[in-house]
């Protein structure tokens, strides 16, 4: 089963569940599969990671575990840790991944890992859930747990690139939370990544969806 990480201050950050309401979490995989090019987005993220296959990887905001499942299928020797703030969604992830991935719930503030543990951190559709004032904190934490030379690849909503995506994302933001999606809508995520110390090496790939434009940011912690 997944593990609780206890910190001195276990006051947990308030968070929006994956589909806004806790009662929708059990339907996350189904609803995404009928409304969203989920696998195309996750595959693009995996392709950008250019993995050897023997890395130690962190799936940040692992959710129901689909990205880690795809990674494990394509790279059986990769070691993956998955972290999330939501106990309920980790139960679903555990049902899919069993013990192939190490699952941990944490307080949303300090990642439960030692410095420089990971070669790669991947994160799909998570940063638009994180309040603006916490995005920098979280990115600093990811920077801390990455090895020098390690990489962070993020897939998340960015500045919409078509009129349709602009309207769709405006509606989506109303439902999902205006505040935590604001920096995404303005295309500011790459700036947050840079401010945490990363070198952004690719920030221009995108995929349009029914809810807005998903952008990809590849960055490295320089040696
Ligand atoms: C839309 S879901 C995406 C899940 C999964 N990565 C995917 O691509 O299907 C967003 C996830 O981010 C998690 N999350 C929200 N705030 C977080 C934080 N501060 N740290 C880690 N995970 C967080 C939520 O609990 C949820 O599982």
Query: How many A from CA of 54 to the centre of ligand 1?
Result: 25
CB of residue 90 inside a 6 A radius of ligand 1 = no
Q: Which atom of ligand 1 is nearest to the CA of 86?
A: 25
pLDDT at 8: 41
CB of residue 128 inside a 6 A radius of ligand 1 = no
pLDDT at 18: 66
Vertex 142: Cα angle to 207 and 221 (nearest 5): 85
pLDDT at 10: 44
Instruction: Report residue 200 as tokens.
Output: 């952004």
Query: Cα(61)–Cα(63) distance, rounded to whole angstroms?
Result: 6
Query: How many A from CA of 194 to the centre of ligand 1?
Result: 21
Mark residue 217 as left, alpha or beta (left: phi above 0; alpha: psi -120 to 50; beta: remaining): beta
Q: Where are the domains of the chain?
A: 37-220
Three-state SS string over the chain comes to CCEECCCCCCCCCCCCCCCCCHHHHHHHHHHHHHHCCHHHHHHHHHHHHCCCCCCEEEEECCCCCHHHHHHHHHCCCCEEEEEECCHHHHHHHHHHHHHHEEEEECCCCCCCCCCCCEEEEEEECCHHHCCHHHHHHHHHHHHHHEEEEEEEEEEEECCCCCHHHHHHHHHHHHHHCHHHHHHHHCCCHHHHHHHCCCEEEECCCEEEECCEEEEEEEEECCC
Q: Which atom of ligand 1 is nearest to the CA of 32?
A: 9
CATH architecture of residue range(s) 37-220 = 3-Layer(aba) Sandwich (3.40)
Query: How many A from CA of 8 to the centre of ligand 1?
Result: 23
Would strands 212-220 and 199-202 be described as parallel, antiparallel, or unpaired?
antiparallel
Q: Which atom of ligand 1 is nearest to the CA of 41?
A: 8
CB of residue 126 inside a 6 A radius of ligand 1 = yes
CB of residue 67 inside a 6 A radius of ligand 1 = yes
- Write the residue with the smallest CA distance to atom 4 of ligand 1: 63
- φ and ψ at 191, to 5 degrees? -65, -40
pTM of the model: 0.94
Q: What is the pLDDT along the chain (223 residues), one digit of tens a residue?
A: 656 544 444 456 677 776 666 767 788 888 889 999 999 999 999 999 999 999 999 999 999 999 999 999 999 999 999 999 999 999 999 999 999 999 999 999 999 999 999 999 999 999 999 999 999 999 999 999 999 999 999 999 999 999 999 999 999 999 889 999 999 999 999 999 999 999 999 999 999 999 999 999 999 999 9
């Amino acid at each position: 089963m997944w593990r609780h990480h206890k910190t001195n201050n276990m006051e947990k950050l308030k968070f929006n569940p994956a589909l806004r309401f806790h009662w929708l979490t059990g339907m996350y995989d189904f609803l995404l599969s009928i409304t969203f090019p989920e696998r195309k987005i996750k595959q693009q993220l995996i392709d950008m990671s250019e993995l050897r296959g023997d890395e130690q990887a962190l799936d940040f905001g692992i959710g129901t575990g689909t990205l880690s499942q795809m990674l494990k299928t394509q790279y059986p020797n990769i070691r993956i840790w998955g972290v999330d703030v939501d106990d309920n969604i980790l139960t679903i992830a555990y049902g899919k991944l069993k013990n192939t991935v190490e699952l941990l719930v944490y307080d949303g503030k300090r990642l439960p890992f030692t410095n420089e543990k990971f070669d790669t951190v991947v994160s799909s559709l998570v940063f638009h859930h994180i309040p603006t004032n916490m995005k920098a904190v979280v990115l600093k934490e990811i920077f801390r747990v990455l090895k020098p030379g390690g990489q962070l690849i993020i897939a998340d909503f960015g500045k919409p690139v078509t009129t349709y995506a602009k309207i769709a994302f405006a509606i989506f933001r109303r439902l999902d939370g205006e505040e935590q999606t604001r920096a995404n809508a303005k295309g500011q995520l790459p700036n947050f990544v840079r401010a945490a110390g990363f070198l952004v090496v690719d920030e221009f790939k995108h995929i349009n969806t029914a809810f807005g434009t998903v952008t990809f940011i590849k960055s490295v912690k320089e040696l």
